[in-house]
Chains A and B, each alone.
Chain A
Amino acid sequence: MIEFEMPKPIAQQNYVLKTVADNMMRPVSRHFDEHEHEIPWDYINFMHMAMRATGAGSLAPRERPKDEKKEEKPDEEKKKRPPIAYQMLAFMLETLSWGDVGIYLVTPGGGLGSAAVEAAGTPEQKQKFLARFAEEKPTFAAMAMTEPQAGSDTSAIRATAVLDKETNEWILNGEKIFVTAGHKALLESQGFVVVWATIDPKAGRAGMRSFVVEAGNPGATVTKLEHKLGIRASDTASIVMQDCRVPFDAMLGSPEIVTKSTKGFKGAMATFDATRPLVAATGIGVARASLELLIETLAAQGITIRYGLPRQKLTNIEREIIDMEVMLRSAWLLILKAVWMADNRKHNPMEASMSKVRAGDVVTKVTQKAVEIMGPLGYSRDLLLEKWFRDAKITDIYEGTGQINRLIVARNIFDYSGSELR
């Protein structure tokens, strides 16, 4: 049955998170935009406490102590409840990003690093690396893929991993840039960074593997924090690895993939199938914030939108806003479908990329239009519209640019491989 009824747990979660957004994010939005690299610890500590208590924000069903498990409802009843973990997460990210996407990005927990461990790690690795997020202090994880010379073309990365057979350790060398939360993962908490490197530079994608580099590793150094157009509360780090040694089992996946195969690379791509709709959701939050403020500001001046009129009778502003609503709502529904598929274990690379393509387009347009329509008010830093404009732009860039995602969608349409449609 086709249904669009919001499940109760999501509605409850939205309600709580809206309060967080209203009280812990919006009031400090401007401050952390203007004080780049300052860390919003109040938000971080609060969220860590809250997420620890509720289990919110986690994709994996948490391992609970045995005695607690017994009290669970019988299997029959459990089966009736459809899985909604990804949907929960999409709503969570949307609402928090509605509050402030830069601050949302410093939410403690796994982020992309954990998603990579979730997607490609063995059960032992998941236990070893993910358990830390439930501990007392807030902990961060990051994903390090991009290098100075390789962005979208992830197969061109040069960081290397060489196995030291004597010590059974991997030795990593190379430089990673644009590592979201990399500073917090390595220096501000006992976190980790999932580093992508090649075990055979000649093998292209087949040589790609991911390695967990933990905080405190002397071979990994944070060398730079970027100054950005937006999402300034979120740290974007450069990390240099110099003879950075990690244990053999820090390589994600089963040991067999040490042999040449593209499984490692596919692991990274599978991570993106899961995370792209989520990143898209953060953009929708920003754009919704812009659109709502726009509509409120207009309403305060006595301008209401007359839905239902033929276009020919609408004012230009009404038409713009109605178009924005169409764009925003339809983009959100693409996201919802992509995460619904993820929840139901349906193969969703095309839907994930479509949701990202649409969201990237829509959120940049909506936030740009909002500034335009508000004229001098929109351009002023008195309102947050100009900040949201800057924040939204990253949606179409990170986690696969709009163009990369178009390529993925097109390959799916035509059933082409990467070499057939380059």
Chain B
Amino acid sequence: MYSFEPSEEQKMLVDAINRYAITDLRKQAHQAEEDNQLPIPLVEKGWELGFLQASIPEAFGGFGERSAVTGVLAAEELAYGDLAGAMAILLPGLFATPILLAGDDAQKETYLPPIVEAEWTPYTSALIEAQFDFDPNKLNTVAEKNGKGYLLKGEKIYVPFAEEAHAVLVYAQYGGDTQGFIVPKDTEGVEIVERQKVMGVNALPLYKVKFNDVLVPRENRLGGEAGHDFAPILDASRLGLAAMAVGLSRAAFEYARDYAKERDVFGVKVAQKQTIAFMMAEMVTEIEAIRLLTWEAAWMVDNNKEDASKEAYLALTGAMDMAMMVTDRAVQILGGHGYIREHPVELWMRNGRGIATMLGLTIV
């Protein structure tokens, strides 16, 4: 059957995240952006809401089962607070979720419990490369097999928390496929080149990282000797990002709505002008449409439907356009005030443009 009603458990989780998003994340987002740094207690508080912990089975230290639907609900709500904060809170998932999805038993037993049983600890992954037509299925970073394991060669950008991370899951091309390789901190040949400056999400530290013939032991190939299918990881990344785009857009929409209802113009409220009202009607319709597409894709992933990957791809494709459309209009509706950094909409617009290029910065 069809249902658009989250379960009671999901509603409770979303409510808890929503409170945190409003009272904590949103309040500190501006300063964090200006400081290029997230307060760690803020991230820890978000981590304690327990989303990732609840998606890892008890056998590996968690207390639940992974659900992509729950994941997109949680990701939307976090990003409703702040995109950089949302990505930071879910950061350990960049490492843990692919291991849950594609790792062998030894990898799950080794890596998952220390992550989910601890306080927020940076674990990350490295996917994106510096190319205008970056394609996660055609990586330039390569893995070469040798007698001792695999040698990683290449350069990654936008690796969140690379400097601080205890381990990084590096994606590289091996035999024509994208494969993950677990690289612990301080492995020889890993070179943190620099912290990168980008248009938005400046509170989230992103690094350029070089892999100079990094030797990865055989057992550190994700999925073990046989490797793994990359598609489920990509699907989950697309879903997470699409959901975050929805949350971000919803934040921008609501801010513009409240502003338009407050602000006087020609003797009425801005919101009473059809030209603004229609823009808002289109924004909310767009957001709801893409939210439902994301939900459906997540449900298809959870239920192993044949077209799940395609649907997740469509959802993210729609989400890129939605995020840009909605955040741009939010700035426009605030007029000159929208351009001033005291209002959050310009940051959301910068973050909104990022959705098209952030595949790999989050996963649910």
Using a CB–CB cutoff of 8 Å, the interface residues on chain A facing chain B are 1-7, 82, 84, 87, 307-313, 322-323, 325-327, 329-331, 333-334, 336-337, 340-341, 351, 354, 357-358, 403, 405-407, 409-411, 413-414, 416, 420-422
Contact = CB atoms under 8 A, between A and B. Distances in A.
Interface stretch (B33-41, B83-91, B292-300): B292-300
Contacts of B321: 323, 326
Contacts of A82: 1, 3
B19 interface: no
B288 A334 contact: yes
B133 A310 contact: yes
Contact of A333 (B6, B271, B289, B303): B289
Contacts of A421: 271-272, 274, 277
Contacts of B257: 413-414
A416 B318 CA distance: 30
A312 B3 CA distance: 36
Contacts of A322: 314, 317
A59 to B, nearest CB: 17
A145 B105 CA distance: 67
B317 A326 contact: yes
Residue with the greatest number of chain B CB neighbours at <10 A, chosen from A2, A326, A331, A422: A2
Contacts of A411: 277
B226 to A, nearest CB: 23
Given A329-B314, A354-B284, A357-B281, A7 B2 contact: yes
Contacts of B303: 5
Contacts of B194: none
A407 B277 contact: yes
Contacts of A422: 272, 274
B266 interface: no
B133 A326 contact: no
A82 to B, nearest CB: 6
B128 to A, nearest CB: 11
Residue with the greatest number of chain A CB neighbours at <10 A, chosen from B257, B280, B290, B293: B293
B288 A354 contact: yes
B285 A410 contact: no
B281 A413 contact: yes
Contacts of B317: 311, 322-323, 326
Contact of A358 (B7, B285, B310, B314): B285
B271 A334 contact: no
B278 A410 contact: yes
A341 B261 CA distance: 28
B137 interface: yes
Interface string B32-66: 00000000000000000000000000000000000
Contact of B277 (A310, A326, A406): A406
A1 B3 contact: yes
Given A406-B278, A416-B272, A336 B137 contact: no
Given A310-B134, A333-B293, A334-B289, A410 B4 contact: no
B5 interface: yes
Contacts of B315: 326
B69 interface: yes
Given A354-B284, A409-B285, A403 B278 contact: yes
Nearest to B132: A312
9 contacts: A1-B5, A330-B293, A333-B292, A336-B292, A340-B2, A354-B284, A403-B278, A407-B274, A409-B285
A330 to B, nearest CB: 4
Given A334-B288, A422-B274, 14 more contacts: A2-B4, A2-B6, A2-B69, A3-B1, A5-B303, A6-B2, A308-B234, A329-B296, A329-B311, A337-B292, A357-B281, A358-B285, A410-B281, A413-B277
Contact of B280 (A4, A310, A410): A410
